[in-house]
Structure 1
Amino acid sequence: MDWTSGYVPLDEQSVLDFARPFLDEDPLDATEIGDGNLNVVFRVRGATSSVIVKQALPYLRVAGEAWPLTRHRARIEANAIDVHTKLAPGVLPYTIDFNEQMSALVLEDLSEHVTWRESLIAGQVLDGVADAVGRYSAAVILGTSDLLLPSRQRKVLRQGFVYSELCLVTEDLIFTAPYTDAESNRYDDETAPLARALQHDRLLRSAAAEMRFAFKTRDEALIHGDLHTGSVMSKAGDTRVIDLEFAFFGPFGFDPGVLLANLALSRLAHEESGNLAFCRVVDGYAADYWAALMDETKRLWNPAEPWYARFLSQFIGDAARFAGLEMIRRIVGLAHAKDIDSLALPARAIAQSRGISGGRALLLGGTVHTFEDLWHRAVGEDANP
């Protein structure tokens, strides 16, 4: 087929022909992989080589054709990988090709890697992953901000990453839907009273609205936009960050907040399962991520700047509030954290309740000034303010 003449949804048969030019030999088979909410992803294998083909669908996959989306997110992801690779070499997947008409990326196959979320659920220790992601976060946050990037270059870069359709999805699913009776919300019957209480919590709704405004208006850096533990893949000695289709110019604290929230939910799941030793591992992951983020920030930006301390204080405060919102939406919103959903009752219901309490503590418990305070509120027994 002529893959430049127009968009055709790929399947396990047609993707063989599409991927043929990028393999060292004829393709043998293709398998749809992943459980993404947005796109279709195939692994195409030949006798000695393989590639990943990721295609944007014209709708939100997790919601079906009733929630249409443009396919421009594929171009956003291709461009974001390019920008972030320059700032954090070796952390992003290698892009082999991008087909604009097909809205499809051809990427290196990370078949030996596992997602951080899956390793967390399995209780598998991955050394170095938190440190690598922390340094990546600092590199892309500072490297695309006015702190390091000349204003003229930044202005040009921003034109390619405007507030996108996927930003509207984030705006709805994180900041709005969990606090309304939205059709996209889903939760267990046991959690229904907590979900309904969110809709009548005026303080919480006000805090969510305030952070929604920050998300929409504070174009501080070219952030990943969806940096949860399922967006990180790792094997011994090698960590990669994937799925950059949500990338846009947004607040400094959003990516760190989302990642720490997902680590906190993982810890709650292990605690309710009785895996207390692995809880200590997750505590270490969270602390290592934040320490690496701060160390790299100091390396890249002069800590002698007069307002450096105030910058860091706002950074951690914003990260805490975004973390709170992410924790809540992963319990009652459309896309859940598998860490907790995979638990059996009653442990799942207890973890869900604690996740909501932790999120509320981060949003309403006063300004967070330290990582230790953030983490304690997120996972502490007395998280409810």
Structure 2
Amino acid sequence: MILVTGGAGYIGTHAVLALMQSGHDVLVLDNLCNSTRSALDRVASLAGRRPRFVLGDIRNRALLDSVFAQFPIEAVMHFAGLKAVGESVREPLRYYDTNVGGSVNLCQAMAQAGVFRLVFSSSATVYGQSKKMPINEHCALGQPTNPYGQSKLMAEHVMHSVAESDPRWAIGLLRYFNPIGAHASGLLGEAPKSVPNNLLPYLLQVATGQRPSLPVYGTDYPTPDGTAVRDYIHVVDLAGAHLKALDYLMNHTGISVWNVGTGLGYSVLELVHAFEHVSKVKISLSFEPRRPGDIAQCWSDPTRARQQLDWVATRDLNCMLEDAWRWQCRNPEGYVLDTLELKIKLADKGHFYKSSAFKRAVGSALFR
């Protein structure tokens, strides 16, 4: 059995589905602070069986000890954590407590239970303001520009230390670039519970008329169009990388590190224009000053993942945006409504969303 912390969240649900479809038994541990258990109902409908679920927090050591004592856990995929750059600047202690303290607690509980295989959800932010592009795993770890990145780097240091202290540990650090997209079924996707902190979820809410315009933070970066450049990766490709990493750790001990990205960088404006092409919806923009903690550009060299894991991202930017738009059209309120309820609500209330573009998109996505 694989324990997936944060398994009801955006990336976690896609990883849980991939694990189950590959034959694994899965136990999800999630405190639901930024997720919902109904997402796991969607996973069950796609997988044909239901993952086990425990409501709880990785900072609760007694709960972790109970979980490891009760279930035959072989390995852990650790997604539980906070992940918004801007929020981390405003609430740094919350990020260190959850992302660092929670990871320490989890490693202690694992060692106590004799479970030593761990796939960790890390981030490309650990490279800080890297001068080299694309970024490979040999690049120096920098000084991350925000508490979120610092918390991920600190958690990595913890895991390096425990692996060096005991040769039984097999730890894979997956440094994500920018996960976007959704499951092709339209049943799983990113569903922020409050104002979205990331670019694409915010853009999608603008496209459906829920927000008036998309703020573009910074137009004076040293990039071709002045807006920040990022490496976007489809969340389903990302989930596949976790399965490959888990397989690798079955035969390798110590610490292994992999960048998980496409190796391509797109600016904010390039992503917006690509979305407009896919959706046929014009996005209203508002140009704002740079945000604290943001960097100009960041994209990956994923060569090591290809060589060691036999993994490569297969979905391009258009696919990412098409899948994300399908998810948004079918689930404008996230997991609040199922598809049938949404059809009824839209049929009964034509003014449910004010955007005529949204109504046209939903019409094509749902009523067919």
TM-score normalised by the chain length of structure 1 = 0.28
Indicate the structure whose relative CO is greater, using CA pairs within 8 Å and at least 6 residues apart: 2
